[in-house]
């Protein structure tokens, strides 16, 4: 098998979305961004801040904020299904599906994968609450993230490495600045004042890059076979990436770092640098002006979400076919 080539993975990913770019644009931008945002305005009167699945603890707006508003649940869940479905529809289209068939598969897969994420989030929340005390907060955060990180890295490679990149860059810079200025607790202040949590998040960020590499073919495998068998896709992705895991991890680190710099740079440029730090909760916290720069980032990130794992998958499958020919 040929060694993994970063330029080759990027080129194949770009060609994946460029071949039928107009259909990909309609699916990713129309179904995945415009339609969910339109539902927010039409049904709620403005953009909602969506739930951050990586935020442990209760809803800061109060537990009753969601339970008393079923329409909010419907809008949020519908938006998630549309967004996740747009990714799977785009993958299915790139692997030879018709536009109509790709949309149908995408919506079904979007609902199914949202359920998987919800189960992982619920398990993590339940496990963390079992051990959560003022003295075991480190362990509670670990238990919370343990089931969530593998699911997110398997289904949303680009977003996972972007979040890992943001956390890694912000905490690393804060630690360096803190060491230079004598304020050693600077990084800890970004995560609630606990230095051990900052170290844990740095370690988990590194683990996320590696897991994303090993599971980078899961979503393309599902879409190429019009399958919802997540377990089989995980096993096959683990097998496919075994020999090239180090090179794929380096590639995803570069992608994650570049995306993180774009997010942090946009946040600083708009004066909303704090929004680059992942937060939790649901509420009417964003106005139309604030949504502009978020939407501006969402457009290229939607394409990257599709092209990054698709490029890795295509490169690995081409190499496997070549190896079989010469064996």
* pLDDT bracket for residue 282 (50, 70, 90): very low
Return phi, psi of residue 283, to 5°: 175, 175
CA angle 24, 26, 29 (to 5 degrees): 95
The whole-number pLDDT of residue 273 equals 45
Q: Which domain holds residue 95?
A: 6-326
User: Could you give the percent of the chain with pLDDT greater than 90?
Assistant: 47
Q: What share of the chain is helix, strand, coil (3-state, %, to 5)?
A: 75, 0, 25
What's the rounded mean pLDDT across residues 65-91? 82
Task: Judge whether 140 and 132 are in contact, CB under 8 Å.
Answer: yes
The whole-number pLDDT of residue 31 equals 93
In the chain, the largest separation of any two C-alpha atoms, in whole Å, equals 63
pLDDT, one tens digit per residue, over 160-180 is 999 999 888 887 777 776 666
DSSP H/E element including 233: helix 230-240
User: Could you give the percent of the chain with pLDDT greater than 70?
Assistant: 75
User: How many C-beta atoms surround the C-beta of residue 100 within 10 A?
Assistant: 9
pLDDT, one tens digit per residue, over 268-280 is 776 654 444 444 3
Residue 116, domain member (yes or no): yes
What's the structural domain count of the chain? 1
The whole-number pLDDT of residue 324 equals 45
* Residue 287 φ/ψ region, left for φ over 0, alpha for ψ in the -120 to 50 degree band, beta for the rest: beta
pLDDT, one tens digit per residue, over 243-267 is 999 999 999 999 999 998 888 887 7
Distance CA 268, CA 264 (A): 6
Q: What is the mean pLDDT of the chain?
A: 81
Beta-bridged to residue 283, according to DSSP, are: 49
**Per the structure block, which two tokens stand in for 298?**
């969402």
Distance CA 43, CA 78 (A): 12
Residues in the chain: 327
- Sequence-distant (6+) residues with CB within 8 A of 187 are 171, 174, 175, 178, 195, 198
Residue 1, domain member (yes or no): no
């Amino acid at each position: 098998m040929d060694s993994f080539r970063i330029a080759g993975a990027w080129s194949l990913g770009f060609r994946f979305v460029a071949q039928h770019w107009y259909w990909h644009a309609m699916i990713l931008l129309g179904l995945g961004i415009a339609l969910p945002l339109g539902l927010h305005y039409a049904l709620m009167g403005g953009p909602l801040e969506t739930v951050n699945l990586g935020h442990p603890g209760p809803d800061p707006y109060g537990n009753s904020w969601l339970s008393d508003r079923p329409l909010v649940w419907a809008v949020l869940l519908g938006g998630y299904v549309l967004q996740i479905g747009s990714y799977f529809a785009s993958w299915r289209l790139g692997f030879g599906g018709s536009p109509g068939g790709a949309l149908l598969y995408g919506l079904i897969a979007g609902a199914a994968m949202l359920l998987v994420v919800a189960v992982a989030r619920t398990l993590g929340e339940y496990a963390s609450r079992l051990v959560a005390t003022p003295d075991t907060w480190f362990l509670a955060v670990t238990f919370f993230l343990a089931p969530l990180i593998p699911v997110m890295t398997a289904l949303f490679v680009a977003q996972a490495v972007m979040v890992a990149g943001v956390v890694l860059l912000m905490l690393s810079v804060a630690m360096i600045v803190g060491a230079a200025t004598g304020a050693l607790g600077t990084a800890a202040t970004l995560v609630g004042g606990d230095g051990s949590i900052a170290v844990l998040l740095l370690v988990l960020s590194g683990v996320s890059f590696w897991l994303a590499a090993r599971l980078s073919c899961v979503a393309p495998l599902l879409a190429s076979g019009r399958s919802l068998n997540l377990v089989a896709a995980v096993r096959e992705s683990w097998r496919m990436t075994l020999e090239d895991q180090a090179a794929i991890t380096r590639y995803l680190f570069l992608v994650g770092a570049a995306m993180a710099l774009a997010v942090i740079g946009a946040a600083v440029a708009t004066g909303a640098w704090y929004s680059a730090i992942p937060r939790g909760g649901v509420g009417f916290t964003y106005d139309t002006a604030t949504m502009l720069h978020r939407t501006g980032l969402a457009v290229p990130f939607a394409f990257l979400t599709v092209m990054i794992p698709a490029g890795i998958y295509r490169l690995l499958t081409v190499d496997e076919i070549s190896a079989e020919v010469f064996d």
